[in-house]
Amino acid sequence: MLVGDLTGVVRHFLSYFLCYHLRVAQRDKRSVSFPPELAKAIDEAAAASGSSFSAWIAETASRRLRLEAGRRGVVEWEAEHEPLSEAELAEGLARARELLGRAPSQRSA
């Protein structure tokens, strides 16, 4: 009976490990402070998007970091080549808006 009990424990440990640790994203818990009106606005935005406060903050921070990385990439590219022309910038903006499913810009070129 001891071997059967041990087999059950091993099976339980393996299923826990494989299910929880390999499928669940690891998180780093932090404590942050917000002004009350900002916290309320984030609560409302998170609820409207169907996510939690933490998930909304994480997605927003991730988006900001991707934008900053893209901007750095453009600066590096322009340093090696030449600054993008107005036409190239307008074309890039139009392509980005199309990919995001947004209407064309109403500004004149």
Instruction: Give the per-residue SS3 of 18-38.
Output: HHHHHHCCCCCCCCCCCCHHH
Average of pLDDT values for 45-50?
96
Q: Three-state SS for 26? A: coil
Average of pLDDT values for 28-43?
94
pLDDT value, residue 109: 46
Residue 25 confidence (pLDDT) above 90 = no
Q: What is the pLDDT of residues 52-69, one digit of tens each?
A: 999 999 999 999 999 999
Q: Domain limits of the chain?
A: 35-104
Instruction: For 59, list phi and psi in degrees, rounded to 5.
Output: -65, -40
N-term to C-term CA, the chain: 80
Say how far apart CA 3 and CA 9 lie, in whole Å: 10
Q: Is 57 exposed, middle or buried (0-12, 13-18, 19+ CB in 10 A)?
A: middle
- Model confidence, pTM: 0.60
Tokens describing residue 74: 């453009």
